[in-house]
A = this chain, B = another copy of it.
Amino acid sequence: MTSLRTAAHAGITPSLATGQRCVHDPRLTYALWPPLTAGCPGCSNEQIAYPLEVTYDYAAIDAGMREALFDRTAIPLDVRGWGPLLPPFDARLGPGVGSTPLIDGLEGLGEGVQVLVKDESRNPTWSHKDRLNLMTISAAAASGAPGVVVASSGNHGASAAAMSARLDLPCVVVMSSDGPPLMAHFAGAYGATVLSVRRDARWQVVRDIVDKLGFHPVSNRTVTHTGHPFGPEGYKTIAYELFIQLGHRLPSAVFIPTGYGELLYGVWKGFEELRILDLVDSVPALYACEVAGRGVLKAAIEQDQPAVTIDEASTTDAFSIATTTGGYRATHVMHRTAGSVLGVTDTEMAMSQRTLAAKGIWQELSGVAGVAGLQQTLRRGATFDGPVVCLATSSGLKDVRTGVHQPIETGPDWSSISGELRRRGIPGT
């Protein structure tokens, strides 16, 4: 029985996962173990690497299991509630992962549209990456690897560090030496070994650590992005949760901060599975919101390529999605959705960040790329015939400009205080 076989690893949740399959050519299938972390061996070449995904025995989901999983009025307490539709994972990593609130009543975000924000900063390391790493770090441990290695600008590395620590797995985080110091501190806080290396040397250092030490890589190590085959499976739970949180309905559109496209792919696959399971009859329009000055997905679509790498790129503070290497997962989704690719500028993201914070939700600049994308489409006159969801991926505490300046002292006499309050538009002053 599938669920017994994949549950054979101690402490791991029963799963209906059956194997791995190429996202590009589904005829190329592989066993579930070991996770193939260097892309599809059957069709990748020197220009393009194709990613793998996990397959499931959907037929084993009978009416009772489908009811237990989806016919609920509230989302489960965390992602452990979706075990059968995920790769096997270590339940110790699950507490508080996912099941993030979907926040309504945000009138200022879009005229005439019901905008809902899914706040992923409520995860264990305060970003959506915990959903992905629940899968990848469990896979590393179940593979018997002596450690984990990850190249990351921040959230992915810190999340991997935290989850590796929980399982007593050594973790090496390879960061670019020109990256945000906060993020190096963040990953290092969990006891990970943070290596600060030249930006262009990161991938070689990861490959060396994989090849020479046998560490399990949980970030990408191929020519175009493929990443870990189990990772995006964790993001599917966002689609499941949205379905429950919207009262067993679909949003009309979802706006998604996009770098390599793993989040985009995972959310799309989650909705696809709802369709496969006959719970819905379509998939919402997905909008991939990437940094305008990078635009690897836009370039791939325009050039009709599976993925592209760009050489030159403008600077951006949206470091968490500021990739110059695209991946096939993202183009795969964009060819299958009614949505589109949107390039958002730092200025647009900063505006959306302020607008959202003024509603009580403070996000990292990259974290509001989805909100910025929505606001851009609305300025262009887009309309939506139902609720629109923006994924907000990470806490504003992580931004590069956070907490740099000491504020100027005021007062304490009332005339200076009231003058300052008046200047700030406080009523009654």
Which residues of A pack against B, CB within 8 Å?
74-75, 77-78, 92-93, 95-96, 99-103, 105, 119, 121-126, 146-147, 162-163, 165-166, 170, 172, 175, 177, 180-186, 188-191, 193-198, 201, 204-205, 208-209, 212-214, 354, 357-362, 395-398, 402-412, 414, 417-418, 420-421, 424, 426-429
Contacts and interface: CB of A to CB of B under 8 A. Distances in A.
A197 B412 contact: yes
Contacts of A354: 191
B417 A162 contact: no
Contact of A182 (B188, B360, B403): B403
Contacts of A99: 77
Given A196-B408, A414-B208, A427-B147, A101 B96 contact: yes
Chain copies in the assembled complex: 2
Given A190-B357, A360-B124, A420 B185 contact: no
Nearest 5 Cβ contacts at the A-B interface: A182-B403, A201-B412, A166-B360, A96-B101, A95-B101
Contacts of A427: 146-147, 170, 213
Contacts of A424: 193
Contacts of A360: 93, 124, 162-163, 165-166, 190
26 contacts: A75-B77, A92-B105, A93-B360, A95-B102, A96-B100, A122-B123, A126-B126, A165-B357, A170-B426, A170-B427, A172-B421, A181-B403, A182-B397, A182-B402, A185-B402, A185-B404, A186-B362, A188-B407, A190-B358, A191-B354, A191-B357, A205-B417, A208-B417, A209-B421, A213-B426, A213-B427
A421 B190 contact: no
B411 A205 contact: yes
A110 B382 CA distance: 57
Contacts of A96: 100-101, 103, 119, 122
A212 B414 contact: yes
A410 B195 contact: yes
A46 to B, nearest CB: 22
Contacts of A398: 397
B409 A197 contact: yes
Contacts of A166: 359-360
A429 B214 CA distance: 11
A103 B201 CA distance: 38
Nearest to A171: B426
A357 B402 contact: no
A277 to B, nearest CB: 24
Nearest to A164: B360
A357 B196 contact: no
Contacts of A196: 406-410
Contacts of A212: 414, 418, 428
B126 A119 contact: no
Nearest to A162: B360
A411 B197 contact: yes
Find the residue from A123, A190, A214, A412 having the highest chain B CB count within 10 A.
A412
Contact of A213 (B100, B182, B407, B429): B429
A163 B358 CA distance: 10
Nearest to A203: B412
B175 A407 contact: yes
Contacts of A122: 96, 122-124
A63 to B, nearest CB: 23
A396 B213 contact: no
A239 B148 CA distance: 38
Nearest to A354: B191
Find the residue from A96, A359, A397 having the highest chain B CB count within 10 A.
A397
